[in-house]
Structures are given as structure tokens and as C-alpha cells.
Amino acid sequence: MDIFLLARCRFLVGTNSGPAFVPALYGTPTVMTNWWPAWERPWHKPDIFLPKLLRKLSDGRYLTLSETLSEPLGWSYSLRYLAKRCGVDVEDNDPEMIRAAVVEMFTQLDGTEGPHPDVTALRARADQIYHVQGIAGAAQLAGDFVRRHFDLYRMTASAATHCGYTCGPTGRLLSQPRTQTWTGSLIFACLR
């Protein structure tokens, strides 16, 4: 019965666990919440995901996506290790962010409106950062997430030059390499 529900639901809201990967086998999209670790970007293109955020314990600022994807932060499953050794806290998504991602998925499936141009630009920026870090995956960051945390998509100069990008002092992408390769817990099921 679980597989039937996962295969036939309109979409699934889940997290990085076994059942959340079943819908993609049947072409069913998911909203992945509290996605962690950061290096494991979801693969299925129709999916929307909300990553957990890392906050520095010393000053309270959120780490940028580039910082979050760096070693050992991007791969670590141990919250205690990250707090003690790296001085960061891993924060879950808030309920409003999850609600907005679910509404976005309904909108996407109903075809009532496409993503706002600023969301498209911020997602493209995040894709560049994932690409520079060598991380594959095709799922899109949730629209409200990238709007709320737009400042996390700055690229460090060292990360940019690693793959031939050039960034200004604020992390704004100034140029790209000429050739690029882009690789692109059952919680809620809505029956079709």
C-alpha cells in the first residue's frame, strides 16, 4: 500500500529518507524539506527542495551556499560534530517555508503561473555554485527559500576561479567559462 500511495499521489512532501525516493520512479514529484547533507542534492528535475541552513555559533550569521558545501560541512551527518568542531548549528526549515514550497508545487502542477524572474535568476546562481563545487542534481530550490535567503548565493573568489568563473568583490558572477557541463518519510500524499 505504501508504494501504491507513493506512486499515485499528486506529489509527496518528504525528507532525505528512503520513501522519499520512490515517487521519482513513477514520475511523481516531491517537495523535499529539511534536506541534509548539502552535498546530496536531489536528482529528480520536477522536485522542489528546502535545504537546512547552517548558522555560525560565534556571530549568528548564516553560511553561504559555497561555505555550506565545503568540507566537512557539506557531507557531515553529525550535528554534534558540526557544532563542536566547526562551530555551526544546523537549522530546520520553518513551517511557513514548508507551506510556501507546498503551495509552489501545487502552482507548478496546476500550471497557473511560472517562477518569478528573480527566483529564476537566484536558482541559476545556486546552480552555478553547485556546479563549481562539483555537485550534480536537478531539483530546484524552493522559490520562497531563495528569495528569503538571496544573500547566501554569493560565490567566493577561490571557488569561482577553480572552475574558470570570475567574481567581483561582492561575489557577483562577472564571467563564465566558455564551455560548461550542467548535470543536472511519507508525510503528505494527495491522490490524483
The whole-number pLDDT of residue 32 equals: 96
The whole-number pLDDT of residue 168 equals: 53
Helix locations, 51-142, DSSP H: 65-69, 79-86, 95-110, 117-132
CA distance 87 to 54: 10
Q: How many domains is the chain partitioned into structurally?
A: 1
The whole-number pLDDT of residue 151 equals: 87
The three-class DSSP label of residue 154 is: coil
Q: Which residues contact 18 (CB under 8 A, 6 or more apart)?
A: 185
The whole-number pLDDT of residue 65 equals: 93
The whole-number pLDDT of residue 112 equals: 86
Which residue(s) pair with 55 in the sheet?
A: 62, 89
Bridge-based pairing state of the strands 9-14 and 188-191: antiparallel
The whole-number pLDDT of residue 165 equals: 47
Instruction: For the chain of 192 residues, list the mean pLDDT of each consecutive stretch of 10.
Output: 90 90 92 93 93 95 93 90 94 96 95 83 91 90 93 64 49 44 32 34
Quote the domain boundaries for residue 117: 2-191
Other CB atoms closer than 10 Å to residue 2's CB: what's the count?
Answer: 10
The whole-number pLDDT of residue 2 equals: 87
Stated pTM of the model = 0.78
